[in-house]
Amino acid sequence: MTKPKKPIISIVGTTGVGKSQFSIDLAKAINGEIINADSMQVYKKLDIITNKHPIPEREGIPHHVMDHVDWNERYYLHPFRQQAIAAIDDIHSRGKIPIVVGGTHYYLQTLLFNNKTVGDEEELEQENKTELTTAQLEILDGPVDQLFQELQKVDPLIASKFHPQDDRKLRRALEIWYTTGKKPSDLYRQQKYHELEDSSLRYNTLIFWVYCDREVLTPRLDTRVDKMMELGAIEEIKEMYEVYKSKNYTTTSGVWQVIGFKEFLPWLDSNMNNLDLFKQGVETMKVRTRQYAKYQIRWILNVLLIELEKESRFNYKYGGKLYILDATDLTHWQQQVKTRGIEITKQFLQGSTELPQAPQELMHMFNKSKSHTSQKVLHADLNWKHYTCDICKDKSGKPYVMVGKDVYDQHMASKRHRRTIYANKKRQGKLDYQVYLKNNKLSEGEDNP
């Protein structure tokens, strides 16, 4: 007989869509407490720039795994998972319901599912591990190019699964090899076979996607950035800068990755006297926020929904259904988000849910996720290969690298690729014309001594 798992609620969605507000509405209705799953909100202070829900608006609802990490610390998946699980256990022990809220999706993934990050199996943590040597620590703290080269030496198959610039995943894979002596690619295969035998959900899980139409969300996000500036985000940015420049940190790790800091570095480096650089920082922050929202939607469609689709093979015995709450029109929040979400949750906690997973006009969102088959699970490693587009460049100006034939094919058919080809042809045409003019001028000079 299957042992019942305790319930949790998870709320996903883009930044700025109202996840925090709905979590308060829900917690009040079902006697819940909130677990933060935002990688920036774990850091102390910086309430505005990290978008922590204002304390007065929390209405006394406890928040866990938040506001506890010093700025000089690098916070990883594993301490998050351990702390979040401990908080969930504590909430359950007091007869309450944990509500997990946040937009850092790899945090959500490692918490909601077993075996979703290479080496995340609990049994790994029970194995005899060796301590990291000084040389190994130096490699793990080194540049991303070094991480990739080292991983290629010990496990070329898993190295081909990750992007050469994905320092987080490369570092984790190397750490597994160093501490267990096992190839991460072998562990990954074991985890994938397990997925075919049983549910991957860690808890009896209900998931809400607080959704907003993109055309409505974009101006809402821009307004949110302006509001952050009005509330004092710039003072937090200045405070960060004082620490940043005194300790020689980089913007690729820790709290320094937060959207809204690196975007203002040119202005900060100018002694904060250049108004144009400040305005540029605000606009860049808006662009990055919109880009992050797009990434969050892609994760929901192309990762989360696919993982949840697998649960249908086990008749959703541990939950795993996702329900869309439409927050596009805020005048309908009470009915379409709050009331609908609370009713679905109450039915879920009683053992069944009868309401539809989405309003009729949004049911098509479930069809947007990529189809999944058991065969793909077993043979996913066949798609572990790097593909390079020499025409398009990444942020550093290097040829654009992708992982997997599917991603490569999508890129080659994308508007971005076509625009780059057009721009290159246009640029080449100008160069050819300049060469023509130069040669013609030389020719005229020869004819007219």
Domain shared by 317 and 277, yes or no: yes
User: 10-residue block means of pLDDT along the chain (449 residues)?
Assistant: 81 94 97 96 95 94 96 85 96 97 88 68 48 83 86 85 82 83 76 62 94 95 95 95 88 89 94 93 96 92 86 76 95 96 95 87 79 46 73 84 80 88 78 62 52
Based on the domain organization, do 219 and 325 belong to the same domain?
yes
| 152 found inside a domain | no
What is the pLDDT, as a whole number, of residue 366?
84
Maximum Cα interatomic distance, the chain, rounded to a whole number of Å: 100
**pLDDT the model gives residue 160:** 82
The per-residue DSSP string of 28-81 comes to HHHTEEEEE--TTTTBSS-TTTTTPPPGGGGTT--EES-S-B-TT----HHHHH
Looking at the fold, whether 275 and 390 belong to one and the same domain comes out as no
Is residue 403, in this structure, part of any structural domain at all?
Answer: yes
Among 378, 400, 417, which residue terminates a domain?
Answer: 378
Last residue of one domain, picked from the residues 378, 397, 422:
378
Domain span including residue 406: 385-447
Q: Are residues 352 and 394 in the same domain?
A: no
Asked if residue 429 belongs to a domain, the reply is yes
Domain end point (choices 354, 378, 402): 378
Whole-number pLDDT of residue 430: 66
pLDDT of the residue at 388: 87
Residue with tokens 């593909």: 387
Residues 259, 327, single domain; the answer is yes
- The three-state secondary structure class of 345 is helix
Residues 291 and 392 in one domain: no
Same domain, 273 and 404: no
228: domain CATH number is: 3.40.50.300
> Does residue 163 form part of some domain?
no
Q: Does 329 share its domain with 424?
A: no
Domain-located, residue 414: yes
Q: Among candidates 104, 118, 100, which has minimal Cα distance to 157?
A: 118
Joined tokens for residue 192: 């994938």
Q: Is the pTM above the cut of 0.85?
A: no
Task: Count the domains in the chain.
Answer: 2
Residue 119: both structure tokens together: 């080496």
Asked if 140 and 133 touch (Cβ cutoff 8 Å), the reply is no
- Which of 270, 247, 251 is CA-nearest to residue 261? 251
287 and 393 share a domain? no
Q: 269 with 308, same domain?
A: yes
In a domain, 195, yes or no: no
Q: Are residues 374 and 391 in the same domain?
A: no
Among 171, 184, 176, 197, smallest CA distance to 76 is for: 171
C-alpha to C-alpha distance for 244 and 72, rounded to whole angstroms: 9
